[in-house]
Structure 1
Amino acid sequence: MPHQIIKFWKLHAYAIIIVLACTLFYAVFAFDLDRQDFLKLLGLFTALFFFYYKLIQFEKWNFKFLLVTGILFRLVFLFVEPNLSQDFYRFIWDGELIKNGINPYIHLPNQLILQEELPIAHAHELFAGMGDLSAKHFSNYPPINQLIFTIATLLGGGSILGSIIVMRLTIIFADIGILYFGRKLLQNLNKSNHMAFWYFLNPLVIIELTGNLHFEGVMLFFFVWSLYLIACNKWVWGAPVYALSIMVKLVPILFLPLFLKYFGFKKSTLFYILVGATCLILLLPFYSQVFVNNYSETVGLWFSNFEFNAGIYNAIKKVAVNYFDAKPWELIKVYGKVIAISVIIGTVLIALFRKNQNYNVLITSMLIVLSSYYFLSSTVHPWYIVFLLVLSMFTRYQYAIVWSFAAILSYYAYSNPDYIENLWLLAIEYILVFGFLIYELIGKGEKKLHFFKK
């Protein structure tokens, strides 16, 4: 036994040292980081990203080692409250509402909190924690998300930390599921299955999903599972699974038109019916006369009211305000509507004119659609980029990995109480991303960037 340990150490010494260092850095991130300390946050994230690259470089064929490593990094966060996001307070609030028979889509937190006998554990702490912006809007989280929130409050035993632990374990298992189905899909597409670890070990994924409790991972678990079923010609089963993905986060709706050529008219019609019927069944328990209006109004706010980490929008805003005297609050409303329409039209054109009957082309089309949306959007939270990471696993493009690092620059906004962004840092972020993307697009043959595949 000692001989085996010594042999293992000799074979994996550098990787073991990297794992120990990363575990320490993740612990500092989880337990000793104030999000206002931008330099510390940037330093930790940069170190973790460098070690992430080296770890896969050293051990990319060692599945068990990287699997255990990825789980270990996530478990560091298990018993601590998120420190870069306050969204979890609203998650638990919604779960408590449903547990007590109250519909979160038709009741505002800032109205419910006025009730003297509100049957919610830690109601005032949750209300204060979610912030004014969340408190004055109806819930925008789809039904499967709400189901997870409710289960978390039921199993959490009335404890905020208990609910956090249940949600965190759910996200960890979802990430393991993405790794499982991602590797199977990569094998199906005749690609190197170690590419799945560019997602599983990515610091942005670990910090933003497991650490800060964003449910993109759960959405992506159902999404990747569905893609695998579709690739295996089991689309009848893939359709309801795809619907589950939509009912965690709405983003996969964007890709529905792209399946038209892949399936053909008859199959795609049946696929859409199955997806739509599953979504309707999941929405029925929450339906009321005001539900549709409240939910669509809340979702619409993301297109026309919020700004964060925007690329092209910030450039347009700068020109419009400085040279055309545009009012920022009027500009974003117009811009949001224009972008929503543009993305729909662009997606339809890609669905009609790209050769999406080829599965590899289909996934690349998804990457183009989502990337275009994020490049144009006025709000791009860092955890949104996780979806691009998953799609890029199945293509030859890796600019999403660069973006997953560069996006940390957007967190400068949290270093000041007014959340004012540093446009120079955002410019650096998007120059890195667009520069890498252009390099990939103009590369030829084997010179196409395979930097992260080595």
Structure 2
Amino acid sequence: MNFIKQYKIPLLFAIASIALYINFGYGLERSDFIKLILFCTYLFYLSYYFIEKVKLNFWLLASLGIVSRLAFIAAIPNLSQDFYRFLWDGRLLLQGMSPYLFTPSSSTALGVTIEQSQQLIEGMGSLNASHFSNYPPINQLFFAIAALFTGKSILGSVVVLRVLIILADVGILYFGKKLLEKLNLPIKNIFWYFLNPFIIIELTGNLHFEGVMLFFFVWALYLLLKGKWLWAGVLIGISVSVKLIPLLFLPLFLKFFISKNTSAPFKTQSSSWATLVKFYSIIGLTVLITFLPFLSSEFIEHFSATIALWFQNFEFNASIYYVIRWIGFQIVGWNLIETVGKILPVLVLLFVLGIAFFRKNKTPQQLITAMLFAVSFYFLLSTTVHPWYIATPLLLSVFTKYKFPIVWSFVVMLSYSAYGKDGFNENLWLVALEYVVVIGVAVWEMYPFRHQNRFQRY
């Protein structure tokens, strides 16, 4: 009774928050942008209230995060249809067929029965159905688990995938807390991920697997700080095999391993070079082992071609690329995506190598901050930035002094204005607003460090 009296107002707000999540999951149409953005705004305010104003204890905040996720447990995702492809891939894999060798559109020629195949193909859309799968093998394993337990029910498969994603988020909460303790940072920081409405909606609600990838990655970072670099390498390899994005971070480990003053567990510079090579080898070997059951010349051709589509064919919610596209139309009169899509990844690689070689990534916070800069730059130059991609910079920011990804996790929801009742049509003014806000906050955060020669500190 004393507990209820003490937390009466926060408990009322918590009930309101959960009610909003239920309404979001079961009563919202993606085309209703005004309702969507109003719900997100109120939910973000409530998260800020719980984390910064009320300062509830760890277990109360954790419980609220779990209950908020469970509010979506039986909801069919309403902001993304990607899950239909997940279910198709999993059911195909369970039939002993590689999802990398057959497109859903060609399913009639497979000679196997995929439960509810027509409903899945219609749900994922003709564009998705016409391409080979680009989801790495460990991701496919989770799709197959859903097919194994509930292969004849779309809702049942959705529930299985959702439980897996919730468990991954709980793992992030656990290892994120431990990592914050080792870095002497406030424990409450982890709730900017775990209680963030963007994470709850995009990962738990819409079944995106960035959280599963990040679970393995943050676990790896924690083990690395404890000196268990071998198992950290294995977990990073598994993380890559869920989503490829951690490959971007591999060059950044260079100075963390070889510096004499590093907080990593290496005694001499000469032995650190050897350990770095072993670390990279373990990551590479783990990735190779996960891909091994699917390896063939056809797989390599299909997988690489599908990945290339994201750089040279697809465009959504981009920033710098949209400026380049506009310039291209003014100068040559057509879209330069095929050419620009080949150049931008090279610029990203050069940027990552630059901060790997010339930035002091010796301490854990310096390393994680370098990762944050790398992935943020990558998304700023990408031709396609779906909202759920921002989960990666958001989680990394929890372990740094930078908070612009928290702002990004809110304003990225403006991108859903593209899905109106009359079909897809991006509002470039709202896209511009999103990036002006994000870049503005990032520059404002970095400005004092740059002018006080403290840029290398974090």
Whether the TM-score (by the shorter chain) exceeds 0.5 is yes
Q: SS state of the match for residue 133, structure 2?
A: coil
Displacement of 1:156:
1.3
**CA–CA distance in 1 between the matches of 2:297 and 2:388?**
33
Q: Residue 326 of structure 1 corresponds to which residue in structure 2?
A: 333
Which amino acid is 2:351 matched to? Answer: G
Runs of 4+ that moved beyond 6 A:
none
**CA–CA distance in 2 between the matches of 1:126 and 1:175?**
27
**CA–CA distance in 2 between the matches of 1:417 and 1:305?**
23
Match of 1:360 among 351, 357, 365: 365
Deviations 1:53-102 (A, max 9, x none): 11112443501111110011101110111000100100000000110000
**CA–CA distance in 2 between the matches of 1:285 and 1:433?**
42
Which amino acid is 1:387 matched to? Answer: T
**CA–CA distance in 1 between the matches of 2:6 and 2:53?**
10
Displacement of 1:316:
2.0
Match of 2:391 among 386, 390, 409: 386
**CA–CA distance in 1 between the matches of 2:300 and 2:422?**
35
Displacement of 1:303:
0.9
Q: In the TM superposition, what are the counterparts of 1:254-403 in structure 2 within 5 Å?
A: 254-264=248-258, 265-321=273-329, 323-328=330-335, 331-403=336-408
**CA–CA distance in 1 between the matches of 2:380 and 2:134?**
23
**CA–CA distance in 2 between the matches of 1:417 and 1:299?**
29
Displacement of 1:346:
1.2
Displacement of 1:416:
4.2
Q: Residue 155 of structure 1 corresponds to which residue in structure 2?
A: 149
Displacement of 1:444:
5.9
Displacement of 1:118:
3.1
Q: Residue 105 of structure 2 corresponds to which residue in structure 1?
A: 110
Which amino acid is 2:332 matched to? Answer: D
* Runs (5+) with no aligned partner, structure 2: 259-272, 453-458
Which amino acid is 2:59 matched to? Answer: K
Displacement of 1:279:
0.7
Decide whether aligned partners of structure 1 residues 59 and 243 sit closer, same or farther in structure 2, where only a CA change above 3 A counts.
Answer: farther
Decide whether aligned partners of structure 1 residues 282 and 444 sit closer, same or farther in structure 2, where only a CA change above 3 A counts.
Answer: closer
TM-score (norm 2): 0.93
Q: In the TM superposition, what are the counterparts of 1:31-70 in structure 2 within 5 Å?
A: 31-70=26-65
Asked if structure 2 preserves the Cα contact closer than 8 Å seen for 1:35 and 1:41, the reply is yes
**CA–CA distance in 2 between the matches of 1:417 and 1:281?**
46
Q: SS state of the match for residue 112, structure 2?
A: coil
**CA–CA distance in 1 between the matches of 2:333 and 2:255?**
42
Q: Residue 15 of structure 1 corresponds to which residue in structure 2?
A: 10
Q: SS state of the match for residue 364, structure 1?
A: helix
Which amino acid is 1:284 matched to? Answer: L
Q: Residue 123 of structure 1 corresponds to which residue in structure 2?
A: 117
Match of 2:188 among 184, 194, 217: 194
Displacement of 1:114:
4.7
Q: SS state of the match for residue 80, structure 1?
A: coil
**CA–CA distance in 2 between the matches of 1:14 and 1:326?**
58
Q: SS state of the match for residue 120, structure 1?
A: coil
Asked if structure 1 preserves the Cα contact closer than 8 Å seen for 2:74 and 2:155, the reply is yes
Q: Residue 233 of structure 1 corresponds to which residue in structure 2?
A: 227
Asked if structure 1 preserves the Cα contact closer than 8 Å seen for 2:91 and 2:151, the reply is no
Asked if structure 1 preserves the Cα contact closer than 8 Å seen for 2:149 and 2:157, the reply is yes
Q: In the TM superposition, what are the counterparts of 1:68-83 in structure 2 within 5 Å?
A: 68-83=63-78
Asked if structure 2 preserves the Cα contact closer than 8 Å seen for 1:19 and 1:69, the reply is yes
Which amino acid is 1:84 matched to? Answer: L
**CA–CA distance in 2 between the matches of 1:123 and 1:114?**
13
Which amino acid is 2:410 matched to? Answer: F
1:142 equivalent in alignment to 2:145: no
1:214 equivalent in alignment to 2:208: yes
Q: In the TM superposition, what are the counterparts of 1:177-188 in structure 2 within 5 Å?
A: 177-188=171-182
Q: Residue 27 of structure 1 corresponds to which residue in structure 2?
A: 22
Which amino acid is 1:104 matched to? Answer: P
Asked if structure 1 preserves the Cα contact closer than 8 Å seen for 2:92 and 2:114, the reply is yes
**CA–CA distance in 2 between the matches of 1:248 and 1:417?**
35
Which amino acid is 2:293 matched to? Answer: P
Displacement of 1:40:
0.7
Q: SS state of the match for residue 362, structure 2?
A: coil
Asked if structure 2 preserves the Cα contact closer than 8 Å seen for 1:15 and 1:58, the reply is no
Displacement of 1:431:
1.2
Displacement of 1:13:
1.8
Deviations 1:334-359 (A, max 9, x none): 11111111111111111111111222
Asked if structure 2 preserves the Cα contact closer than 8 Å seen for 1:113 and 1:123, the reply is no
**CA–CA distance in 1 between the matches of 2:15 and 2:23?**
13
TM-score (norm 1): 0.94
Asked if structure 1 preserves the Cα contact closer than 8 Å seen for 2:311 and 2:342, the reply is yes
**CA–CA distance in 2 between the matches of 1:145 and 1:326?**
40
Decide whether aligned partners of structure 1 residues 393 and 16 sit closer, same or farther in structure 2, where only a CA change above 3 A counts.
Answer: same
Q: SS state of the match for residue 125, structure 2?
A: helix
Which amino acid is 1:285 matched to? Answer: P
Which amino acid is 2:196 matched to? Answer: N
Decide whether aligned partners of structure 1 residues 304 and 157 sit closer, same or farther in structure 2, where only a CA change above 3 A counts.
Answer: closer
Indicate the RMSD between aligned Cα atoms, in angstroms: 1.4
Q: Residue 127 of structure 2 corresponds to which residue in structure 1?
A: 133
Q: Residue 267 of structure 2 corresponds to which residue in structure 1?
A: none
**CA–CA distance in 2 between the matches of 1:218 and 1:93?**
19
Asked if structure 1 preserves the Cα contact closer than 8 Å seen for 2:50 and 2:56, the reply is no
Displacement of 1:139:
0.4
* Runs (5+) with no aligned partner, structure 1: 448-454
Deviations 1:120-176 (A, max 9, x none): 111111111111111111100001100000001111142111111000000000000
Displacement of 1:260:
1.4
Which amino acid is 2:327 matched to? Answer: V
